[in-house]
Chains A and B, each alone.
Chain A
């Protein structure tokens, strides 16, 4: 079987990813380009006795090497010999799309131009003559409509039959390349040259379009009609809030939570009991039984129960993103976000932060300016992620049984308010002189391709599963060890364990917070490994087995009788909740911050400043609350 190497390039919003996903399905490898935080996607398939590999290069508007994505595209294409380089073009937006095409041709790269979204162009009254375009460019052109089976088959046939070396750039293109070369040699200031070259490219594109494209004006497009509701006037923010509410309802009430509850029942019930019985029957040592059942199954299981929530939330957000609505969210929220020191484009990553901070921090990559990116990375962990929710749910149910839902909601608000306050502070200090920019394409509304939505959901959510298998696994073993051993070996009394010692050492800094018990200290330490473990650690420490934060109301009773009720007052419990909401992110999030923000310095900064903020705010709440007589 002979091989065939394909690379896909193109603008964002051209259906390039859909084509990639339809071509390769689940046979993809997603990694990182060396040295930068940009996804590298490679997929494989076999067709007509050819082993085809497809590289999905990042979607870019140009290759001026202004962003890491643009650098990757040009570096990759200049340094790798591909059999076919496909330039995916949105036919309904051909003028701007051709800019990248022309730029690639200037570099001497031979292209197979894929006129995608032909159906959409026709609906808009545009007709792109593929044969004429082929003549004008001197490069092969193929027409597709995105995700249809015929289109994918057609592409594969073209891939396997086209010999790119047969094609040579047309005279028009060669003249243009020569013209660009002359401009470069003109000796004018670099910036002027660049601008003249851009103008020359669009002049060429105007000529191409004049010859190959006819447009009948059919009035406002469907997307513009939709936008007159979704991105216009006072209705726009109202609809946005309704959609946001819908997403959270789907995640936390209608679909995600019931699945999570069922999974939790399964793990804490049959799985735990089954494992315990099995280990007992085969005669495993008692300490190992305890490690597996109380340590690993309890710890990893607690994380697994959040997986449905995270996946459902990410599915909703990926779906909305696929429709084009997220660009409108950025559009309508930008003025508000800007006043808060952020940008409208940052709303989507922040929304992910309510699921899990890790993909939310990674999502900040999409932001244009250094200032927006860094601010977003540094404030995202203040939000209430899926792992903090059980802490809030349990404490609220225990100490504020009459107002539990409101208190949990209040914690969400406190997280958001602190994120905003810190964004303002960073904007006025560290990033004072850095500008924020906002230039955003509003793509046409489209029905998203389900395969693409599902693959994206999996890509964002799988990190959480990996985390359950790695960090949480290690953390569970570690915490189990710390809570069952001390210097002289195994201990029956947890109050004499390593964990008690550590908790006791740290809890002195919470003397004025009302929760200076070693149990609280131990829970806080374990929360840095993973927030999920705060509740389970507290449960273990107060001797409550089978913690089920999702049925917090019923569990609360058990906890109150366990000695935990005496350890906290309502006020100190509230203060502890606020501290948990705001303090140092978990190690997985810290690792992501190090990668995305570029170094240990930012990771250390995040860890320390968030701890300080949490310490201060919860102190103020406890002290002011005490003065007010709560």
Chain B
């Protein structure tokens, strides 16, 4: 599955970031394969979404989240 389908409360492990213009920026911000992330919430209209990663919170758009392959944990 991809991060796009995450709902608040979900905990994931990143499998693959997927190619995009944002790839290196996402990785720089700490999203590398193996990193654990949690889905925190969606903005009022469902997009963008907020995730918790490496003890900080990051907002990204769902279309970018759709490229990030994740695996459910815990």
Contact = CB atoms under 8 A, between A and B. Distances in A.
A237 B44 CA distance: 8
A223 to B, nearest CB: 8
Contacts, number: 115
B59 interface: yes
Given A195-B27, A199-B32, A439-B22, A335 B59 contact: no
A442 interface: yes
A54 B2 CA distance: 45
Given A202-B30, A202-B35, A231-B50, A93 B56 contact: yes
Interface string B47-70: 110100111111111001000000
Nearest to B42: A232
A439 B30 contact: no
A458 interface: no
Contacts of A210: none
A442 B22 contact: no
Interface size for chain A: under 10, 10 to 19, 20 to 34, or 35 or more residues?
35 or more
Q: With a 10 A CB-CB cut-off, give which of A96, A215, A223, A236 has the most chain B CB atoms.
A: A96
A110 to B, nearest CB: 23
B24 A438 contact: no
Nearest to A224: B40
Interface residues of B, number: 32
A119 interface: no
A194 B25 CA distance: 11
Contact of A440 (B26, B44, B59): B59
Most buried by A among B30, B47, B59: B59
Contacts of B40: 224, 227
Contact of B55 (A124, A195, A228): A124
B7 interface: no
Contacts of B28: 61-62, 64, 99, 198
A196 B46 CA distance: 33
A95 B26 CA distance: 14
Contacts of A441: 29, 56-59
Contacts of A93: 54-56
A198 B32 contact: yes
B43 A331 contact: yes
Contact of A331 (B24, B46, B59): B59
A344 to B, nearest CB: 8
Contacts of B22: 437, 439
Contacts of B50: 227, 231, 331, 442
Contacts of B41: 227-228, 231-232
A61 B61 CA distance: 19
Interface string B2-29: 0000000000000000000111111111
Nearest to A215: B55
B27 A335 contact: no
Given A126-B55, A199-B32, A331-B50, A437 B21 contact: yes
A18 B38 CA distance: 30
Interface of B: 21-30, 32-33, 35, 40-41, 43-48, 50, 53-61, 64
Given A61-B28, A231-B41, A439-B58, 13 more contacts: A64-B24, A94-B55, A96-B30, A96-B53, A236-B43, A237-B44, A330-B59, A334-B61, A335-B43, A437-B64, A440-B48, A441-B29, A443-B56
15 contacts: A61-B28, A93-B55, A96-B56, A198-B24, A202-B32, A215-B55, A231-B41, A332-B44, A335-B46, A335-B47, A437-B25, A438-B48, A438-B64, A439-B29, A443-B57
